[in-house]
Structure 1
Amino acid sequence: MPAGMHDENGQHRPSCWVVTDGSAGMENQCIGLAEALGLDFTVKRIATTRPWRWLPPQLWLDPLKRLSPQGDLLTPPWPDVLITCGRQAIPMSLAIKKANGPDTFTIHIQTPNCDAARFDLVIIPEHDRLRGPNVLVSIGSLGRITPKILQEAASRFAPEVADLPRPLVTVLVGGSNRCYDMNENVMRDLAAKLTSLQKETGASFLVTTSRRTGAENEAILRGALASLPHRLWTGEGENPYFGYLALADALIVTGDSVNMVCEACAAGKPVYIFELPGGNRKFNYFHSSLQQKGYTRPFHGHLEEWHTPPLQETRRIAAKVARILADRQQGR
Structure 2
Amino acid sequence: MRPIQLPEPPSPTGRKGTPDIFESGVHTFVRRAVVIGNGFPASENQSIGLVRALGFSDKHLLYRVTRPRGGINEWLQWLPVSLHIKIKYIVTMISGYSPLLLRSQQKKFMPLPSENGTSAGLSTVLEADVKQIVNLARETYEKEGPLLVVASGRDTISTASSIKRLASDNVFVVQILHPRLSLNRFDMVITPKHDYYPLTPQGQKQVPQFLRSWITPRDPPDSHVVLTMGALHQIDFTSIRSAAAMWHDEFAHVPRPLLVVNIGGPTRNCQYGIDLAKQLAANVHNVLDSCGSVRISFSQRTPQKVSNIIVKELGNNPKVHIWDGQESNLHMGHLAWADAFVVTADSVSMISEACSTGKPVYVVGAECCRWKFTEFHQSLREQGVVRPFTGSEDISESWSYPPLNDTADAAKRVHEALAVREDIIYFIDTVNRKHRCYSCNFFHKTDFEMEGPLLVVASGRDTISTASSIKRLASDNVFVVQILHPRLSLNRFDMVITPKHDYYPLTPQGQKQVPQFLRSWITPRDPPDSHVVLTMGALHQIDFTSIRSAAAMWHDEFAHVPRPLLVVNIGGPTRNCQYGIDLAKQLAANVHNVLDSCGSVRISFSQRTPQKVSNIIVKELGNNPKVHIWDGQESNLHMGHLAWADAFVVTADSVSMISEACSTGKPVYVVGAECCRWKFTEFHQSLREQGVVRPFTGSEDISESWSYPPLNDTADAAKRVHEALAVRGWKVKN
Q: Please confirm whether the aligned pair reaches a TM-score higher than 0.5, indicating the same fold.
A: yes
CA offset at residue 83 of structure 1? Answer: 0.5
Counterpart of 2:437 (choices 64, 73, 76) is: 73
Q: What pairs up with 1:238-257 in 2 under 5 angstroms? A: 238-257=635-654
User: SS of 2:435's equivalent?
Assistant: coil
Q: Which moved more, 1:304-313 or 1:267-276?
A: 304-313
Pairing of 1:53-202 with structure 2 (within 5 A) = 53-54=412-413, 60-62=420-422, 64=424, 70-75=434-439, 76-78=441-443, 80-129=454-503, 130=524, 131-199=528-596, 201-202=597-598
Matched letter for residue 104 of structure 1: V
The answer on whether the counterparts of 2:563 and 2:600 sit within 8 Å (CA) in structure 1 is yes
Gap runs ≥5 in structure 1: 1-9, 19-46
Q: How much does 1:74 deviate?
A: 2.9
Residues 142 and 190 of structure 1: CA distance in aligned 2, closer, same or farther (over 3 Å): same
Is 1:220 paired with 2:616? yes
Taking structure 1 as reference, are residues 276 and 293 closer, same or farther at Cα in structure 2, changes over 3 Å only? closer
Change (3 A) 1:16 1:188: farther
Aligned-pair distance for 1:90?
Answer: 1.0
Which structure's relative contact order is higher, taking Cα pairs within 8 Å and 6+ residues apart?
Answer: 1
Instruction: Give the alignment partner of residue 313 of structure 1, picking from 713, 718, 730.
Output: 713
Shift of 1:64: 2.3
CA drift of 1:221 comes to 1.1
Q: 3-state SS of the aligned residue for 1:15?
A: coil
Q: Could you tell me how far 1:162 is from its partner in structure 2? A: 3.7
- Give the SS at the match of 1:226: coil
Contact 1:63/1:91, CA 8 A, preserved across alignment: no
Structure-2 change in CA distance of 1:217 and 1:17 (3 Å): farther
Q: Deviations over 1:154-189 (max 9, x none)?
A: 222232234432110011100111122231221111
Q: 1:195 to 1:251 in 2, by over 3 A?
A: same
How far did 1:308 drift?
Answer: 1.3
Over 3 Å counting, the alpha-carbon distance change for 1:243 and 1:330 in structure 2 is closer
Matched, 1:280 2:271: no
State the secondary structure of the residue aligned to 1:73. Answer: strand
Q: CA deviation at 1:209?
A: 0.5
Is the contact made by 2:565 and 2:646 (CA closer than 8 Å) also made in structure 1? Answer: yes
User: Could you tell me which of 208, 216, 219 is aligned with 2:604?
Assistant: 208
Over 3 Å counting, the alpha-carbon distance change for 1:329 and 1:65 in structure 2 is: closer
Aligned counterparts of 1:167 and 1:67: Cα–Cα separation in 2: 45
Identify which of 308, 312, 327 aligns with 2:727.
327
User: Residue type of the partner of 1:98?
Assistant: R
Question: Conserved in 2, the CA contact under 8 Å of 1:62 and 1:95?
Answer: no
Partners of 2:472 and 2:529 lie apart in 1 by 22
CA distance in 2, matches of 1:189, 1:149: 33
- The structural deviation recorded for 1:252 is 0.5
Q: Retained in 2: the 8 A contact 1:186–1:276?
A: no
2:625 and 2:593 mapped to 1: Cα distance? 11
Q: Deviations over 1:206-234 (max 9, x none)?
A: 22101111222112212213214133224
> What do the CA deviations read for 1:279-321 (whole angstroms, capped 9, x no partner)?
1221110001011111101111113532112211111111111
In the alignment, residue 729 of structure 2 is paired with which amino acid? Q
How far has the Cα of 1:147 moved from its partner? 0.8
Cα 1:115/1:247, change in 2 over 3 Å: same
Distance 1:314 1:65 in 2: 27
CA positional deviation for 1:101: 2.1
**What SS class does the counterpart of residue 140 from structure 1 fall into?**
coil
1:97 and 1:66 mapped to 2: Cα distance?
15
In structure 2, what residue type is equivalent to 1:106? V
Q: What is the SS of the residue equivalent to 2:617?
A: helix
* CA offsets 1:243-291 (integer angstroms, 9 cap, x no match): 1011111110100011110000011101000125531221110001011
CA drift of 1:192 comes to 1.1
Q: Distance in 2 between matches of 1:269 and 1:330?
A: 37
CA distance in 1, matches of 2:465, 2:8: 15
Change (3 A) 1:85 1:259: same
The question of whether the paired residues in 1 share the 8 Å contact of 2:566 and 2:646 is answered with yes
Could you tell me how far apart the structure 2 residues matched to 1:182 and 1:234 are?
22
Structure 1 residue 62 displacement after superposition: 3.0
SS of the residue aligned with 2:576? Answer: coil
> Which aligned pairs between 1:23-62 and structure 2 lie closer than 5 A?
51=188, 53-54=412-413, 60-62=420-422
CA contact (8 A) 1:164 1:229 kept: no
Is the Cα–Cα contact under 8 Å of residues 4 and 730 in structure 2 kept in the other structure? no
Report Cα offsets for 1:122-180 as digits up to 9, x if no partner. 11101111411211111111111011111111222232234432110011100111122
Matched position secondary structure for 2:542: coil
d(CA) in 1 for partners of 2:8 and 2:664? 28
TM-score by length of 2: 0.37
Alpha-carbon distance between aligned partners in 2 of 1:98 and 1:180, rounded to the nearest angstrom:
36
Superposition TM-score, scaled by structure 1 size: 0.80
Q: Which runs of 5+ in 2 are unaligned?
A: 10-53, 56-147, 149-173, 175-187, 189-223, 225-411, 444-452, 504-523
Q: Structure 1 pair 15/163, CA: closer, same or farther in 2 (3 Å)?
A: closer
Change (3 A) 1:184 1:98: same
Counterpart code for 2:718: A
In the alignment, the residues of structure 2 paired with residue 111 and residue 13 of structure 1 have an alpha-carbon distance, to the nearest angstrom, of 24
1:58-91 Cα distance to aligned partner (Å, 9 max, x none): 9954352666795222345336111001112111
1:116 to partner: Cα distance: 1.2
Residue 242 of structure 1 aligns to which amino acid in structure 2? M
CA distance in 2, matches of 1:11, 1:326: 10
Residues 1:240 and 1:63: Cα distance change in structure 2 (over 3 Å): farther
Secondary structure of the residue aligned to 2:591 is: helix
RMSD, aligned α-carbons: 3.0
Q: Which residue of 2 aligns with 1:262?
A: 659
**Equivalence for 1:39:** none
One-letter code aligned to 1:111: H
Q: Larger C-alpha radius of gyration, 1 or 2?
A: 2
Change in 2 beyond 3 A, CA 1:250/1:227: same
Q: Secondary structure at the match of 1:101?
A: coil
Cα 1:16–1:137, aligned 2, differ >3 Å: closer, same or farther?
farther
Distance 1:77 1:62, change over 3 A: closer
For 1:15, the equivalent position in structure 2 comes to 6
